[in-house]
Structure 1
């Protein structure tokens, strides 16, 4: 048997002479992860990680996790999934929401995170690219400080470039139905990425993408309108009285975000509103606030980020002395396990993270949002309105206990599209139990499904994974949810 060792350059030349494409040569070098620290045995699904240089000089390197569908990778949808913030790592979605792995709290400690399979992973029915975006999020990095300057439109264009380059090394997925998805602040980014792909397809940019629609969970659409809806939501949830609701609606004239500073009656009602809401957990009003973490500042009630999503190492230094997790403890304790796992050098080695590129992995990079990111899009509604004649399939879902982005505001902008109701408001079920409520709209080939998830917060799959999996499984299969 010939045991000759091929020099890499000779092997490349040999493959070229055989007619093997450059794309397939690159594909031979894709980073397939077989095992991960904390998970016993080999991974029972195909996980690939890597970086894609998205600008001409490749100064921006976006990190991704790609997980093939566990059912039929060649036929199932392909989803590009974003996480919100802006600046929250997509590892949040992978470990806490829709990915195939979750944290086994009973077997974990502060010093050792154990992983287990998530029986409600969306990768059972879809191929998913989880992308750390924008640059500065998670394990994505840039080689110059200037490259960290970002905005909604720049981020969306960058993500489109990422997808174009990703397809060059994965051409076999070009035929799969493509969906762009995300939650929270990604409600701004996803529609702009859809815009980039739509325009690219229409002007003949290669490769053409088989875009079929998009997925939005608890989505920010208009910072003003979403925040303004918190007052009506609070009234419907009996968090404020009928008297206060009628008074503040009259005195503030329905405008609670841009209040007239000279309007004393409005200011007094707003102060009473804040007193009613200041000790609630905005991401899910049914849960208790964490005694170790400060509650939302009542003066910031009408700002975008009520949820204290940003994190830094100080949060964890304050938390690490706590006893092991128990179900009655604060939900935010869960994130410590992910923080410790992602910052373990053996984990980063296993994920093939480039050494020295990220000083510390953070679930949400608050510095990015405060300093280098321009939240420049007042509303994503014009994008949604422009797609009504494109024939896309759209699903928007909301946890019905979410005060950050109340379901009322999402339903309002969908109604404003002036699409026809084809299936009116009704309950949907999982295991014969009401899982939420849904309504379906259509305009010729364009279909929009709106669904609430009963008892869930911001974002819904973290709270109700079983129900959310049933929802997306039915939607992909074009069944009524």
Structure 2
């Protein structure tokens, strides 16, 4: 009798969780793409928070190979505040803008032959609230946003999404993302692991997580920019040695009374201020508004897109080409009323779509997630960490530093991996029973490596998901 009573209330609890704004819609055609989409696209909202006051928008794209058997990936774009559409159309999704055939206010799409949906089902989530098309029903929903709450909302979203899509409960699940999501992904993965242990419904088939150029530890990530600059000959050996000596290796929040350190950092800044930090080999663009930089504190939001300038352009200037001109079409497309109607975006819920919303009132309340990585490794989850080796926003130097701090056992030491007979990067695999932890560089990649090296990154994720060596 007691058992039946518990089962009844568990069923009630599941029904309550499933009472979500399931405005899920299958999209068969999109403005800018000719003909029917050759893949399954679903968009929708799921409510989280008190009385579902926060409505998180998502794009779900089924695997183009075998939706029933291929892994399910939850993808979180960084920022915080960068739309999932950015990850979808500029990084790992099946669509990309056809720049040659696009003009003015008529962006055109082409198929991305290197989409990760070739090997996986992917949920692209606009998170936290205020990102992309996600919104709150009242001002309170926007008033407190931080790492902890963002991860909690994402976890609740995933639980509800899987209950509404039970056909994917058995698929191997991976939490994935890049840049600032390097903080959120491990927290979400830990919540899933803990929920499974206490029997939370639904049980999730979590196998691991994937992170690209991830923000992980504020001090290690940002301090790494100076040694990275020296390794890439952006500053001289003499300036690096002097800065290291006078600042004692601390370049973030340097002591303002340490005049020798400040003097060195000013010289470092002078050498780096015109460098495109997202990809040091590419030009810096006039479509970016430099955020006031301080030699005492460097944060992850070094450059902010001037979207008003973007929208004032009739078309990208022909010369010199800058990668950021590519982003113009996302603003034009996503703010089009027909597009929003096609995607079933709720009218009046957002004032303007912004690729990366820097107006969020967001608090970074988690300084380091290294302990979350330790927890997940001990629990037996797989991890793939990749870094574009030309990225100075989150340099591979800092990523290697926090990985080294975990004192993992090296299984396969530093070695190249190949695509089409050419070196695509270098990798090292760690083995810590019962899990495996892989770090790899993507040669020539910048911040958000798949944007720069899509073919190599598809090969990377395909091999890793299949448990093959890179």
1:463 matched residue in structure 2: 452
2:391 matched residue in structure 1: 402
After TM superposition, give the deviation of residue 413 of structure 1 in Å.
Answer: 1.3
User: Which of the numbers 160, 167, 172 marks the counterpart of 2:167?
Assistant: 172
1:3 matched residue in structure 2: none
After superposition, give the CA deviation of every residue in 1:215-253 in whole Å (9 maximum; x if it has no partner): 100100012211101111011111111111111111111
State whether residues 234 and 272 of structure 2, in contact with CA within 8 Å, keep that contact through their aligned partners in structure 1: yes
2:335 matched residue in structure 1: 343
TM-score, scaled to structure 2:
0.93
After TM superposition, give the deviation of residue 329 of structure 1 in Å.
Answer: 1.1
After TM superposition, give the deviation of residue 294 of structure 1 in Å.
Answer: 4.5
TM-score, scaled to structure 1:
0.91
Distance 2:219 2:20 in 1: 46
For residue 107 of structure 1, give the secondary structure of its aligned residue in structure 2. coil
2:321 matched residue in structure 1: 329
Aligned Cα root-mean-square deviation (Å): 2.1
2:356 maps to 1:364 = yes
Distance 2:121 2:97 in 1: 21
After superposition, give the CA deviation of every residue in 1:167-204 in whole Å (9 maximum; x if it has no partner): 11100100000000110000010011011111111111
2:225 matched residue in structure 1: 230
For residue 387 of structure 1, give the secondary structure of its aligned residue in structure 2. helix
After TM superposition, give the deviation of residue 290 of structure 1 in Å.
Answer: 1.4
Spell out structure 1 runs of 4+ moving beyond 6 A: 21-29
1:448 matched residue in structure 2: 437
After TM superposition, give the deviation of residue 352 of structure 1 in Å.
Answer: 0.7
Q: Counterparts in 2 of 1:53-72, with a 5 A limit?
A: 53-72=47-66
State whether residues 46 and 55 of structure 2, in contact with CA within 8 Å, keep that contact through their aligned partners in structure 1: yes
User: Which of the numbers 132, 136, 158 marks the counterpart of 1:138?
Assistant: 132
Distance 1:443 1:323 in 2: 49
Distance 2:20 2:193 in 1: 27
2:9 matched residue in structure 1: none
For residue 303 of structure 1, give the secondary structure of its aligned residue in structure 2. coil
After TM superposition, give the deviation of residue 298 of structure 1 in Å.
Answer: 4.7
Distance 1:390 1:322 in 2: 51
After superposition, give the CA deviation of every residue in 1:321-349 in whole Å (9 maximum; x if it has no partner): 445667x5111111110110001111111
State whether residues 287 and 325 of structure 2, in contact with CA within 8 Å, keep that contact through their aligned partners in structure 1: no
Runs of 5+ unmatched residues, structure 1:
1-20
For residue 378 of structure 2, give the secondary structure of its aligned residue in structure 1. coil
For residue 83 of structure 2, give the secondary structure of its aligned residue in structure 1. coil
State whether residues 325 and 333 of structure 1, in contact with CA within 8 Å, keep that contact through their aligned partners in structure 2: no
Distance 2:262 2:44 in 1: 52
State whether residues 184 and 219 of structure 1, in contact with CA within 8 Å, keep that contact through their aligned partners in structure 2: yes
After TM superposition, give the deviation of residue 56 of structure 1 in Å.
Answer: 4.1
After TM superposition, give the deviation of residue 258 of structure 1 in Å.
Answer: 2.3
Runs of 5+ unmatched residues, structure 2:
1-14
Q: Counterparts in 2 of 1:275-294, with a 5 A limit?
A: 275-294=270-289
User: Which of the numbers 422, 427, 431 marks the counterpart of 1:433?
Assistant: 422
- Judged with a 3 Å threshold, the aligned counterparts in structure 2 of structure 1 residues 23 and 299 are, in CA distance, closer, same or farther, namely closer
State whether residues 18 and 160 of structure 2, in contact with CA within 8 Å, keep that contact through their aligned partners in structure 1: no
2:406 maps to 1:417 = yes
Distance 1:250 1:23 in 2: 56
Distance 2:243 2:208 in 1: 39
Q: Counterparts in 2 of 1:17-28, with a 5 A limit?
A: none
Alignment: residue pair count: 455
Distance 1:82 1:275 in 2: 34
After superposition, give the CA deviation of every residue in 1:141-190 in whole Å (9 maximum; x if it has no partner): 11011111211011101101001111111001000000001100000100
